[in-house]
Amino acid sequence: MSAQCIKAIISGRVQGVFFRESTRKQAVQLGIRGHAINLSDGCVEVLACGTEDTINQLIQWLHQGPEYARVTDVKTHPIEIDIPSGFYTR
């Protein structure tokens, strides 16, 4: 299966609620490569590469996030990038 890569911008109460670390754990479980970073506007950016199925599962999860998050919007679009390995936060 070929890799599918996406960029997602998640809005709402997504900083200070372990969103990035929870996303990292979810991505590792799914075998997804990429990163989750806080943006200066209060959103979180996720770059993710995996199979179509695992990417769709991650996108579904991003709409909910961890327990204390309150996601109001998830914008995703495909990107042309290949992330070599791992999933990290910063």
The catalytic residue positions are: 20, 38
Tokens of 70: 């309150």
Alpha carbons 22 and 46: distance in angstroms, whole number: 12
